[in-house]
Amino acid sequence: MAYHTRSNSFPSRPHPLFQEVDEHLCRLRSSEATSTSSSSIRKKLNGLQDMLDCVDMLLQLQGTQQVLAQEQQQKWANELLDGSLWLLDICSTAKDAISQTKESIQDLQSIIRRKRGGETGLTSEVRKYLSSRKMVKKSIHKAMGNLKGMENKSTFSSASKDQETIAIVSKLRDVKAITLRVFESVLSFISGPKSKPSSWSFVSKIVQSKRIACDEEANVNEFAEVDAALMKSLKSAENAQNQLNDLESCIQDQEEGLECLFRQLIKTRVSLLNILSH
């Protein structure tokens, strides 16, 4: 649904797009309580994309552009622009984590199917995968630390007596806040539940020991299930093909959702740049 009506100023009643953004915000807030399954994460990504598409239409309204383009509102407009860059960085981190895990999964699947190099080759590939996951989790934990900093940073002030300005900026602030929370859910999903990883000396003995205890298996998702299976034993790695296939399908789904969202975030940033350039 698109709204093409433009006016030189906002009418006494809010534009329908304001109500539509509110509806998207309510749905996304409600989804925060849902489980962190692959389907619920994709639903959140789709909902976030729909909301940002609606926000972009809101930014095309002449009234919105006039408010943000006013010289006295430049500080707020620039802060919105900075926020859009932060969101792109977070989305890029999630995309990179998904891509890196996908590549490792495909390498592991290949060697399991072909049994290239025998047990030694398989052990080496398992170790490579777990090492990659360790790097992914480290990157995600750093990104989530930055997310917390962004959530705690107060970027907007409501000192302005211009009610139109307050309404627009407050709405965009709410959009930013829920977007950060959705990204937090996505990053947590990719990282998997927190656990105490076994030492690499145990991983190197995966063939001989045939079993490595996993400290935490409760509340796992597709990523964590594969991590746990590969940390247990070589036999588990061979029998993990179905789990690997499920994880690859999950990754493909999240990858598509993040790519669409990334393009939408770029579109929103371009809209803000266009407003500031006029």
Digit-coded pLDDT (tens) for 152-202: 554 445 445 567 777 888 888 899 999 999 999 999 888 876 654 443 333
Is 11 inside a domain boundary? no
Q: Work out the pLDDT band at 260, boundaries 50, 70, 90.
A: very high
Q: Is the pLDDT of residue 12 over 70?
A: no
Range of the domain at 223: 16-277
Instruction: For residue range 108-140, list pLDDT tens digits in order.
Output: 888 777 765 555 567 777 888 888 888 999 989
Residue 3 DSSP SS3? coil
Query: pLDDT averaged over the chain?
Result: 76
Using alpha carbons, select from 267, 253, 76, 95 the residue that is nearest to residue 169: 76
Whether the Cβ atoms of residue 221 and residue 192 lie closer than 8 Å to each other: yes
Count the helices and strands in the chain (H runs, E runs): 11, 0
Residue 232 to residues 111, 114, 116, 206, 255: CA-CA distances in angstroms?
A: 18, 21, 21, 8, 28
Q: Domains in the chain: how many in total?
A: 1
Average pLDDT over residues 15-27: 91
Domain contains 2: no
On whether residue 159 sits in a domain, the answer given is: yes
In a domain, 197, yes or no: yes
| Residue 212 predicted with pLDDT over 70 | no
Instruction: Report whether pLDDT(92) > 90.
Output: yes
**261-275 mean pLDDT:** 91
With respect to residue 153, please indicate whether it lies within any of the assigned structural domains.
Answer: yes
Q: Is the pLDDT of residue 258 over 90?
A: yes
Separation of alpha carbons 242 and 226, rounded Å: 10
Strand ranges (DSSP E) for 61-115?
Answer: none
Q: How many CB atoms lie within 10 A of CB 168?
A: 23
The pLDDT value recorded for residue 220 is: 58
Read off the pLDDT of each residue in 228-232 and give the average, rounded to a whole number.
71
Question: Is the model's pLDDT at 64 over the cut of 80?
Answer: yes
Contacts 24+ apart (CB under 8 A), 33-39: 36/185, 36/188, 36/189, 36/221, 37/221, 38/189, 38/221, 38/222, 38/250, 38/253, 38/254
Structure token digits, residue 34: 């849902």
Higher pLDDT, 70 or 265: 265
Q: Look at residue 4 and tell me if it is in a domain.
A: no
In a domain, 9, yes or no: no
Q: Report yes or no on 6 lying in a domain.
A: no
Please list, in sequence order, all residues whose beta carbon lies within 8 angstroms of the beta carbon of residue 190, skipping any fewer than 6 positions away: 94, 97, 98, 101, 136, 140, 223, 254
